[in-house]
């Protein structure tokens, strides 16, 4: 390669680095570093499926029984769960793929059975720089030790499942749902347990099911006179939560590069991108601020723009709401949702063309 070209490429790389602030490499296996990473492609689908039938307890936390000392301790997995067709977890999905990638680039692929269940024994790489936390909230305490210059003296214990970190994609056909944050496995060295259903199960779970699908949100929409309340809100609610919500929406702290979350160099990101799609006008929410010990210490105001700020009634299909979520080249931390023929897309576009009213 000639020198000039090298300088041009380096220049481009540097400007991309400043524009995006964070570029992924293995030392930065973080939500920010991996935000736009596409799903791995080159692996054999379902290669890590666990043995057995596994038709029972869909949607329940598999780790309640499948753990050391539990009723099913004969079967311990690194990951298990249930996959659905929709976020509310009313219909299970058979033959969907759960793709995980760990910090070392190992790809794990599982397919859901006719109960929607999947499970695996495949190992997940340990992150030597794991920060112990209570579900990503304060207080944050490193599980590794360093000298004063930041050289690693002792890595976080690789036998402790809490140090196993991964990012996940869900795939059915051409549709891919991406997990925004980097997850850490639950449990402890002697209490190995993990199930996606701890956080993503059936309808009773607050954070919504693990889902991927192409069904339209409502069975049908009128061709005109669309209503924000009746048609649009349900689409946004079931596809765009839990990311585009009011209030706090920082990804959790898992690794050294995430620390401290208030530092501009932190790879923690706001997984709503400052956009609240649960409200028409946007939102202003007062939330408790926590101190280093995790105790409430005053409050902060979190302001977000709303639905009306991301639509363009004079050029409906140019609306950033649609451009970001259509199958196209535009990058979106939340992934792609529809084609121009999808019923949800057509309904959103029609509502925008009719003036995007709060009706």
Where do contacts with ligand HEC occur on this chain (CB under 6 A)? 50, 52-54, 56-58, 60, 62, 64-66, 71-72, 74-75, 80, 82, 117, 119, 180, 195, 197, 239-240, 243-244, 271, 273, 275, 277, 310, 320-321, 324-325, 331-334, 337
Q: In angstroms, give the least distance from the CB of 65 to ligand HEC.
A: 3
Q: Which is nearer to ligand HEC, 171 or 324 (CB)?
A: 324
Cα–Cα–Cα angle for 233, 212, 82, rounded to 5 degrees: 115
Residue 330 tokens read as: 């535009």
Distance of CA 179 to the CA centre of its chain: 2
Q: In angstroms, give the least distance from the CB of 154 to ligand HEC.
A: 34
Q: In angstroms, give the least distance from the CB of 81 to ligand HEC.
A: 6
Is residue 162 helix, strand or coil? helix
Q: Give 67's DSSP letter.
A: S
Task: Report the 3 state secondary structure along 91-104.
Answer: CECCCCEEEEEECC
Listed residue (347, 342, 350) closest to 174, CA to CA: 342
Q: Which helix (H) or strand (E) holds 79?
A: strand 79-82
Q: Are 129 and 257 in contact (CB under 8 A)?
A: yes
Q: Which is nearer to ligand HEC, 80 or 124 (CB)?
A: 80
Question: What is the spatial distance between Cα 17 and Cα 265, in angstroms, rounded to a whole number?
Answer: 13
Q: Which is nearer to ligand HEC, 22 or 259 (CB)?
A: 22
Q: Which is nearer to ligand HEC, 57 or 94 (CB)?
A: 57
Q: In angstroms, give the least distance from the CB of 270 to ligand HEC.
A: 7
Q: Given its phi and psi angles, is residue 273 left (phi above 0), alpha (psi -120 to 50 degrees) or beta?
A: left
Q: Which is nearer to ligand HEC, 54 or 96 (CB)?
A: 54
Q: Which is nearer to ligand HEC, 163 or 254 (CB)?
A: 254
Listed residue (304, 240, 68, 98) closest to 183, CA to CA: 98
Q: Which is nearer to ligand HEC, 80 or 108 (CB)?
A: 80
Q: In angstroms, give the least distance from the CB of 150 to ligand HEC.
A: 29
Q: In angstroms, give the least distance from the CB of 109 to ligand HEC.
A: 16
Q: In angstroms, give the least distance from the CB of 4 to ligand HEC.
A: 33
β-strand pairing of 283-290 with 296-304: antiparallel
Q: Other C-beta atoms within 10 Å of 114: how many? A: 11
Question: What is the spatial distance between Cα 219 and Cα 323, in angstroms, rounded to a whole number?
Answer: 24
* Position closest to ligand HEC via CB: 334
Q: Are 12 and 5 in contact (CB under 8 A)?
A: no
Q: In angstroms, give the least distance from the CB of 89 to ligand HEC.
A: 12
Q: Which is nearer to ligand HEC, 199 or 332 (CB)?
A: 332
């Amino acid at each position: 390669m000639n020198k000039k070209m090298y300088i041009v490429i380096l220049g481009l790389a540097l400007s991309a680095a400043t524009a995006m602030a964070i570029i992924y490499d293995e030392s930065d296996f973080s939500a920010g570093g991996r935000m736009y990473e596409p799903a791995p492609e080159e692996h054999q689908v379902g290669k890590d499926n666990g043995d057995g039938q596994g038709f029972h307890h869909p949607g329940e936390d598999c780790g309640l029984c499948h753990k050391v000392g539990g009723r099913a301790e004969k079967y311990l997995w690194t990951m298990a769960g249930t996959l659905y067709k929709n976020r509310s977890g009313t219909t299970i999905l058979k033959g969907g793929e759960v793709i995980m990638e760990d910090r070392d680039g190992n790809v794990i692929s599982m397919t859901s059975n006719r109960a929607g269940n999947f499970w695996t024994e495949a190992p997940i790489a340990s992150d030597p720089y794991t920060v112990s936390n209570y579900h990503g909230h304060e207080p944050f305490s490193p599980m590794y030790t360093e000298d004063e210059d930041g050289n690693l003296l002792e890595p976080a214990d690789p036998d402790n499942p809490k140090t196993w970190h991964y990012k996940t994609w869900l795939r059915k056909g051409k549709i891919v749902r991406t997990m925004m944050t980097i997850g850490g496995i639950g449990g402890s060295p002697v209490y190995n347990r993990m199930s996606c259903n701890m956080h993503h199960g059936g309808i009773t779970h607050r954070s919504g099911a693990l889902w991927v699908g192409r069904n339209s949100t409502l069975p049908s929409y009128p061709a005109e006179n669309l209503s924000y309340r009746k048609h649009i809100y349900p689409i946004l609610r079931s596809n765009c939560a839990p990311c585009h919500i009011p209030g706090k929406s920082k990804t959790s702290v898992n690794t050294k590069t995430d620390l401290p979350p208030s530092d501009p160099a932190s790879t923690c990101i706001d997984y709503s991108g400052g956009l609240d799609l649960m409200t028409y006008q946007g939102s202003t929410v007062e939330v408790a601020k926590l101190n280093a010990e995790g105790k409430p210490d005053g409050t902060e105001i979190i302001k977000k723009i709303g639905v009306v700020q991301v639509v363009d009634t004079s050029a409906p299909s140019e609306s950033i709401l649609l451009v970001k979520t259509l199958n196209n080249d535009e990058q979106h931390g939340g992934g792609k949702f529809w084609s121009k023929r999808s019923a949800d897309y057509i309904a959103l576009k029609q509502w925008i063309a009719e003036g995007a009213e709060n009706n």
